[in-house]
Structure 1
Amino acid sequence: MTAAALPTVPVLHSEWIKIRTARSSLGSLMAVLVTTVGITALTAAAIGTGEEGALGDDPLLAAFYGVNFGQIAAIAFGATALAGEFRHGALRISLTAVPDRTRLYLSKVAVVACLALLVGEVTGLLTFVAGQALMGPHAVELGDPGTVRAVFGSGVYLMLMALLAAGLTALVRSGTLVMGLLIPFVLIVPFVVGKVVGGAGRFMPDRAGQAVMRLNAEGSLGPWEGLAVTALWSVAALVAGWIAMRRRDA
């Protein structure tokens, strides 16, 4: 990757227009916020005031309960944002306008990252505030230890999950396939791996990344170490997607 292949403002703007005008991508992005905040608030209102620990042993992680569902929307956003290029010859048209494949790819990734991070940070803050407002005497305050880190980290985590899906979609050229494989992977596989190979499940992208939202570290991964593991998963997927984008025919 050379400096000459870095994104430019016109290319970034064109990628933003593509996402803004694609119902599936824009809808998935908005679903990150609505799903995460909504499920957290509804769950907190339903059982949060019942007894301490009703939403889990870690009170800080419980404050972000809806992230378990919001990450599905983040995966859908990352996948649909890239998948449009591989339908009906759209990639040929994009390459006509932007012949440099690396610039095109980096521009798409940059827009996905910025939008996912922006929505993720707003989602993290609203999720915490809305959920804890309904927790009664069991609420965690925003100034309590680890809360600011968890709010910020939850937004970064959602961005990384979107980028993981985006990279894999560029690799396999199918958003449907990526969602069909990645969603069960993050929801089921970490628990299966954890049962079979001891604590290895903690190094799966979702379990590792969610460590940043924990009050107490689980095993050997601290909050930032866990988020770094998820970042490595995402970077690996993005590099694989870049290689595929450069080598395959449009």
Structure 2
Amino acid sequence: MSTPQPPLPQAAPAWQAETGSAHPAYTSPIPVVRTHFGHALASEWTKIRSLRSTMWTLGVFVLLVLGIGLAAGAMVASSPADMHGDSPLPFGFFGLLMGCMCIITLGVLTTASEYGTGMIRTTMTVCPSRGRVLAAKATVFFVLSFVITLVSASLVAFLHVAMLEGHGAGTPSGQEWLKGTVGVSLYIALLGLLSLVIGSLVRHSAGAITIMIGTVLAPLVIALFMFAQSLEGVRQALFEYSIPSQLSVFYSTSLTGSGPSGWDPLWIILGVTAVAFAGAYLLLEKRDV
């Protein structure tokens, strides 16, 4: 009886010989790309331009700025009073004051709405760098709000100059044009950016919008009802540093005879926004999504 012979060794498959593993190596057909800040910007731009709330809020903003601004200019143009060389640019203040509420709302929704829907978990999973996400949101929103405000404010300013040219209106200087278009646009964009940061801190859309609208209107309203002589200093400070008063500085028509002047309101809102952004960044790194 013959003894069975052991089986002859067989050559290992090519994939096993190359990898030394019991499982075949897999190469993804999708190229692996190291992510960077540009990818976060592209993602946030896609989100903000695809939301209906963006179109609605910015559309209402343009309507308010153009509608109220042109209505104010038309009222002056239809009156027999002579402007005696006054600049026509300040008539754009009223529309921008109302329109900034739309920028505030959009700023809050840019961050807080993702927490309300739970979309923030997907965002943080795709981009684990939370600081990068916040910076990308802030950059996209700031550029968008600045461009929209600049176009709207400039259009109203040019129309006011044309409408009131025959009513004794003076020709605005280069400094007045710069402050009444670029300066005020930077201020409103920074105000919207502050709203975005507050939305990140509060994580609740209605709460953050209430806080920001209160920040805009409450100081002025409180100051109007401070009649006590002992509170005169507080009353004056509320008038001087209220957002409507600072916004009027860009048109050289401050609501008060003292307080911030020139470009001071821009540096104030920039400092406040920078401090709030730093706080939001630190809190975002510590919180659970």
Letter of the 2:267 partner, please give it: A
1:140, distance to aligned residue in structure 2 (A): 4.6
8 A Cα contact 1:82 1:169, kept in partner: yes
**Per-residue Cα deviation, 1:111-167 (whole angstroms, up to 9, x for no partner):** 111111111111220121223433351545344652332211111121011111111
CA distance in 2 between counterparts of 1:83 and 1:25 reads 14
Paired residue for 1:129?
Answer: 158
1:115 equivalent to 2:144? Answer yes
Paired residue for 1:238?
Answer: 277
CA distance in 2 between counterparts of 1:218 and 1:161 reads 23
Letter of the 2:45 partner, please give it: W
Change (3 A) 1:241 1:58: farther
Letter of the 1:114 partner, please give it: V
8 A Cα contact 2:87 2:172, kept in partner: no
CA distance in 1 between counterparts of 2:170 and 2:67 reads 18
Paired residue for 1:159?
Answer: 189
Greater shift, 222-231 or 206-215, is seen at 206-215
1:210 equivalent to 2:210? Answer no
Structure with bigger gyration radius: 2
Greater shift, 105-114 or 204-213, is seen at 204-213
CA distance in 2 between counterparts of 1:117 and 1:246 reads 28
Paired residue for 2:210?
Answer: 180
SS in 1 for 2:117: coil
Change (3 A) 1:206 1:166: farther
Paired residue for 1:100?
Answer: 129
Paired residue for 1:45?
Answer: 74
List 4+ stretches of structure 1 deviating above 6 A: none
1:88, distance to aligned residue in structure 2 (A): 2.5
Paired residue for 2:116?
Answer: 87
CA distance in 2 between counterparts of 1:228 and 1:52 reads 35
Change (3 A) 1:249 1:74: same
8 A Cα contact 1:209 1:230, kept in partner: no
8 A Cα contact 1:37 1:123, kept in partner: yes
1:11 to 40, 46, 57: 40
Greater shift, 108-117 or 144-153, is seen at 144-153
**Equivalent pairs, count:** 242
**Per-residue Cα deviation, 1:28-87 (whole angstroms, up to 9, x for no partner):** 12332221122100222134542357xxx9854334321111111111111111122212
CA distance in 2 between counterparts of 1:140 and 1:166 reads 38
Letter of the 1:85 partner, please give it: E
1:247, distance to aligned residue in structure 2 (A): 1.8
CA distance in 1 between counterparts of 2:217 and 2:170 reads 26
Structure 1 spans left out of the alignment, 5+ residues:
1-5
Letter of the 2:171 partner, please give it: E
8 A Cα contact 1:117 1:155, kept in partner: yes
